[in-house]
Structures are given as structure tokens and as C-alpha cells.
Amino acid sequence: MALTFDDGPSRYTPQILAVLRRHHVHATFCMLGDEARRYPELARQVVAEGHQLCNHSRDHANLQKASPAKVRAEVTKAQKQIKKTTGVTPKIFRFPYGASDSQARKIVHGYGLRALGWDVDPEDWTRPSARKITTRITAHVKNGSVVLMHDGGGDRSHTAASLEATITRLQARGYTFVLA
């Protein structure tokens, strides 16, 4: 199963990285280009600790029904920002809101990027308690799951606080963690 974190990096990223480090777990960070540029040290730390990068657009624009020029701009600007900041060119793209259409998917694939979805969403962006986030994940996860969480885009303290219990419970159930 894969843990993924969207919308960062942010001031909550170090807390998430610390938990992942303690448990020897690697995750996929779907970064916004603007946030990678805003927090370059954190973006580089994600890479230095062996995590996978994913392009999540420049500024989280909804690309469903967007013009081809808008889709191209969001993808290429983020690729450049992330590459310039981290030295890594992402090979994966996650559509903001998970929203895409055939035109946007074709453009993304044309850049050689694989689209990344998810099948477990604890809706941490609604700011439920850490306990509720953990419960939502552990109740719905299965072999091969891709879990959507957020390290940016607002107050993510509950997400960070949930991670210790989430990983501990999943490991106790025999799950191993892979990159998306």
C-alpha cells in the first residue's frame, strides 16, 4: 500500500517526515510547484529522505474542462519549479481534486507522466480528529491501496497527529508500504 501526501510542502511536512522516518516508511509527496518554490528546504528534505515526488500542478487549479494551454502551463511550470528546487523531475502527476477529462489526461500522458489516483480518502482536508483519520484509513485500506492525505493546503496538524497510530496499526496488520 502507498501513503501519499498532497498540496505541500508546508510547515506540517517536517512532522510527517519525522513519523515516516521513525517507522522507516517511504511515501509519495504530490507537490505543488508554488509550494516547492516557497519551501525549498522542505522540498529538498523530502527527496533527501528517499521519498517519491509527484507533480500536483503549479497552484492546485482544477484542470477538468480547462483549456489545453492552461493544462500545459500548470504541468510544465510545476515540473520546472520542482526540478529547480529538488533536482528531481517527477514522473507522476496527480490531478488537483482528482478532477480531469480526456483532454487533460492526454496532455499529461503526452509529457510522459503517469496519472496517480487513490482509493482511500480519509477526508483529512475537512479537519476531522486524528483518531477519525486513522479509523477512516484502517477501515478502508486493502492490499494495493493508495491513501490520499495532505501535508499542505491548510492546517494539517490532525493529519500529522494521526500518522503514528495509522502506520503502527497498518504494520501490525501486516501491511508494507511502497511508493506509488
> Is 155 a known active-site residue?
no
Q: Which residues face 29 on adjacent strands?
A: 5, 53
Q: Annotated catalytic residue: which of 51, 56, 150, 158?
A: 150
> Is 101 a known active-site residue?
no
Q: Annotated catalytic residue: which of 6, 7, 124, 151?
A: 6
Map the chain to HEC letters. Answer: CEEEEECCCCCCHHHHHHHHHHCCCCCEEEECHHHHHHCHHHHHHHHHCCCEEEECCCCCCCCCCCCHHHHHHHHHHHHHHHHHHHCCCCCEECCHHHCCCHHHHHHHHHCCCEECCCCECCCHHHCCCHHHHHHHHHHHCCCCCEEEEECCCCCCHHHHHHHHHHHHHHHHCCCCCCCC
Q: Among all residues, which ones are annotated catalytic?
A: 6, 150
